[in-house]
Amino acid sequence: MRSRDRSALPGGRGRTWRTATIASFVLSGLILAAAFYAPEEGATRAKRFDVPAAILQCEADAECELVDKIGCCSCKSGGARWAINRTQEDALRLFLKRTCRHRTVCVQLDSCPDDLAPACVAGRCVAQIAPREEPEPRAPSASAESLNHG
């Protein structure tokens, strides 16, 4: 008569099934633990850095110009547009090259505002919202006058 208990067979097939079950529970537990693991607070955000003061230093508005890349990403890739001293473009490029070696991922998101103007405020170049030019009042056209009088 044949026994239906496979653990009694030579080769120990019953142990193989038990081992696979235990391994799957352990693996499931590890995956669950990884899902609940919270990484360090600093690792979840992009690191902030300060641009060297010489790059932003100015004495007059004419010394400042807008640049499309003040961080690791250009403003057409989710970064920012800002004003720097126009003589410091190469220094900014070298600074960003060193700082952004292990940069974050840039996205295709155009965040270049068109209404900024460079200005020197308290000895630093800044980007300010340019004042809107008020349209000059127009004189009434001849056709509008004919409608009013006729």
**Grouped pLDDT means (10 residues each) for the chain, 150 residues:** 52 72 82 66 59 95 95 89 96 92 81 91 94 68 54
Number of domains in the chain: 1
- Judge whether 137 lies within some domain: no
Expressed as residue numbers, the domain containing 69 is: 50-129
Q: What is the pLDDT of residues 30-43, one digit of tens each?
A: 776 766 665 555 44
Answer whether 61's CB lies under 8 Å from 77's CB.
no
Domain-embedded: residue 125: yes
In a domain, 138, yes or no: no
Residue 69 inside a domain? The answer is yes
Q: Where are the beta strands (DSSP E) in the chain?
A: 64-67, 82-85, 116-121, 124-129
